[in-house]
Amino acid sequence: MKTILIKTQKRKNNISKEYLQADIQKRLFLNELRNKILLTNIDLENIELLINDEDLNFLVNKILEYKLNDNLYINQEKIIIKEIKLLDKIKEDIKNEGKFKIINNRVSIIFKSPAIFKVGYSFLDFSFQLLFLLSCQKYNKFFKNKKLNLNKEELEKINLISENIEKGELNSFIGEIELDFSKISNEEKQKYETLLNFMKLNGVGYKYKKYYGMIELI
């Protein structure tokens, strides 16, 4: 994995990483490559992206194209690219960066925009077990040296306290669930905290439309 720093002219709007993730993916990658880029940090003058080694050249060339053509827009604001750097540090650890923690063994996951579970050509029904398994697969594609392993026994220890889910087109869903983690060990809990934070940053499920799969954690 590599971290690319895009230094920009100071922007007017400072928007959260979660909100801009899908927008930046859409601008920089074709449909089949969108899930290979992760926005790790953004402020008014810097954008940091995490990318697989094999797609690095493609991403750099795409950013250079935007710089030369002066036509990069994010959230309807023109972005003036001043400099592009490949950082020596590799942001492969998103565990300790102002992270969400499981408090009192309970977590509420709010699906703020529609989410879709798609495997192959199939659109699957919602379950929290599938939510974690699919998100873990995505996480492991980014963090190949720090992969997370989920197993059936662990997932069975997590109890569903409440579920308020509404279905939409293509088996999409929106709503809220509450989970109880009291039966899992502290070591296992840390693993799920890491995964929950990744889900919050990167979204969940299949990106059928812009901003699909955005969540909030309580």
Predicted confidence at residue 92, as pLDDT, reads: 46
pTM of this structure: 0.71
Say what the pLDDT of residue 93 is.
47
Model pLDDT for residues 46-103, shown as the tens digit of each residue:
888 888 788 888 888 888 998 999 888 877 888 899 999 988 655 544 445 557 899 9
**pLDDT tens digit string along 130-168?**
999 999 998 888 887 889 999 889 999 999 999 999 999
Taking only the tens place, the pLDDT of each residue in 15-32 is: 666 667 667 777 766 655
* Residues 70, 78: Cα–Cα separation, whole Å: 8
Number of neighbours of residue 205 by Cβ within 10 angstroms: 25
- Measured CA to CA, the distance from residue 218 to residue 216 in angstroms comes to 7
Is pLDDT at 201 greater than 90 in this prediction? no
**pLDDT for 181 beyond 50:** yes
The domains located in the chain, with CATH, are 2-86 (3.30.70.1890), 106-217 (3.30.70.1900)
**CA angle centred on 10, ends 8 and 16, rounded to 5°:** 85
